[in-house]
Structure 1
Amino acid sequence: MPGGSIYVQPNEKYTGSSPQWWYEKFWREDAPNRRKYRYAKAAVGFVIGIALGIRFGLAGGSAITGLLLGALTFGGDWLLDWYSFHKTAVWRGAKRGELITGRLLRRSLSRQSYHVLDGRAIRGQASIDHLVIGPGGVWIIDNESWSPDTEIACYAGRLFFGEKYGSKTAKPLVEQAEAFAELLTRETGVQVRITPMLAVHCGLLPKSGVVVAEGLTLAKPRAMAKLIKAADRDVLSPSQIELLSRTAARELQRV
């Protein structure tokens, strides 16, 4: 892999001739071209800055205005370039999505009576990345990432990733939510309904930033806590939240 993190173990998925490997290779090879265009944009910004300085009677300060606008143009273009690459980090295997989402959930929810449990599984069954229990109910959240140009959408109630159906992604999470709800209801006596969610670290979501299809809610990691807090806060009482959290910590296996 041309780049990567020493904190993330190599994965065959991200090496050799994988899409991730080629994406990073081409991005690095294109750096001189991006730099050339950045200088050109900065030059245009410099000229516009001088023109604006003259237009508003800043004759002596027009050069300063030009330099300022040119520097802002250069910096803004560099920032956009860096962000476009940085947001593919999970897809490229340079960062772990569950660590990012877990940190965001705890930062936003922990002070508002929500409990966040990371890496849980029913013994002998598939695991989930996060279990959230709070006044608005219970959620399970997994993390996934697709190539930057993969469009994620809902058509006629069906989930699509590009031209492919998303049922193979949605169905297991919906079934896991039902299994977790059944276990918690049986062990606590509290009627539980769990909402399955998927944090999308890379891929094209619609302008709303949220896709709801086939029983699954998909959104960017930073939107997860907002969606959870938007739910009705009178679903579970403080005593029920505490009971469910203790039971989940005891009955669900850490992974």
Structure 2
Amino acid sequence: MCGALVNAVFGIVAGLLVAGADTLVHWRIYQASSVWRRGLRGEDRMNRLLRLTLERRGHRTLIARMVPGHGPADQLVIGPGGVWLVHNEAWQPDFELSHHGGRLFIEGRTQSKLVGGLTARAEAAARLISERAGTPVKVTPVLAVHGGRMPRRTPFQADGITFARPLRLVRWMRRNPTADYTADQVEEITRAAVHALPIGGRVMPAAVPTAQ
């Protein structure tokens, strides 16, 4: 059509642009569903992304910790702007994620168990870290979405949790601080989190003062 309306060269260029755009769209869909197709949840992809982004900007990341009584925390990100508990989920490419009235829906169904569990995990982590650190620490729950179909405008918030693709979620955490910590405070909170949230259910013993 472009060739008939303008000239042959313009038609060829337009055809190449359309073909390129179509290839890009299909490639992005393929990449977005790759985690789900391999039977994974996305932790490894998010770990690599955090190492290449936030960890280079003064953030610390704890991977695969346990929140006693509430289950695993995929990643705990501690930085100058606050503390975030990152959960990863991969859905089938055709599954639709949406939000209505402040609530999350997947394929038209509410997700009370998912959001309730994540919220409780973040609250418990905040309590345990605060006790160890000796100062109040807020832990914000966020969810990295691998696969599925999301609203055009993301990140979005539902049930008190922020949802986004991994890279957009990282950007959102940088641009939406919940605290203002110094480098020393980041290290102190990280040490407290290491002791409060064990790996594989192991409990880190409290430091025993040496005799003088």
TM range (shorter): 0.7 to 0.9
1:157 aligns with 2:102: yes
Q: 2:27 aligns with which of 50, 65, 82?
A: 82
Equivalent residue runs for 1:108-147 within 5 Å: 108-123=53-68, 125-147=70-92
Q: 2:119 aligns with which of 171, 174, 199?
A: 174
Number of the residue aligned with 1:235: 180
Amino acid at match of 2:190: S
Which whole-Å CA distance do the structure 1 matches of 2:81 and 2:180 have between them?
5
Deviation string, structure 1 residues 206-239 (Cα, Å, up to 9, x no partner)? 2221221222111111111111111237532222
| Gap runs ≥5 in structure 1 | 1-46, 55-61
CA shift, 1:118, in A, is 1.4
Which whole-Å CA distance do the structure 1 matches of 2:178 and 2:109 have between them?
36
Which whole-Å CA distance do the structure 2 matches of 1:137 and 1:153 have between them?
27
78-87 vs 189-198, greater mean Cα deviation: 78-87
CA shift, 1:49, in A, is 4.5
The structure, 1 or 2, with the larger RCO (C-alpha pairs under 8 Å, 6+ apart) is 2
1:205 aligns with 2:150: yes
Which whole-Å CA distance do the structure 2 matches of 1:249 and 1:114 have between them?
15
CA contact (8 A) 2:29 2:93 kept: no
CA contact (8 A) 2:70 2:120 kept: no
1:48 aligns with 2:10: no
Which whole-Å CA distance do the structure 2 matches of 1:125 and 1:232 have between them?
25
Aligned CA distance change for structure 1 residues 74 and 168 (closer, same or farther; 3 Å): same
Q: Secondary structure at the match of 1:151?
A: strand
Task: State the superposition RMSD in angstroms.
Answer: 2.3
| Matched residue count | 200
CA shift, 1:103, in A, is 1.6
Number of the residue aligned with 2:129: 184
CA shift, 1:106, in A, is 2.3
CA shift, 1:48, in A, is 2.9
| Gap runs ≥5 in structure 2 | 201-212
Which whole-Å CA distance do the structure 2 matches of 1:233 and 1:214 have between them?
18
Higher alpha-carbon Rg: 1
Q: 1:101 aligns with which of 43, 46, 49?
A: 46
Deviation string, structure 1 residues 30-69 (Cα, Å, up to 9, x no partner)? xxxxxxxxxxxxxxxxx635753x4xxxxxxx45x55554
Which whole-Å CA distance do the structure 2 matches of 1:240 and 1:225 have between them?
21
Q: Stretches of 4+ moved more than 4 A in 1?
A: 65-69
The TM-score normalised by the length of structure 2 is 0.82
Q: Secondary structure at the match of 1:203?
A: strand
CA contact (8 A) 1:184 1:244 kept: yes
Equivalent residue runs for 1:17-32 within 5 Å: none
CA shift, 1:133, in A, is 0.6
Which whole-Å CA distance do the structure 1 matches of 2:82 and 2:17 have between them?
46
Q: Secondary structure at the match of 1:154?
A: strand
Amino acid at match of 2:2: I
CA contact (8 A) 1:105 1:224 kept: no
Q: Secondary structure at the match of 1:254?
A: coil
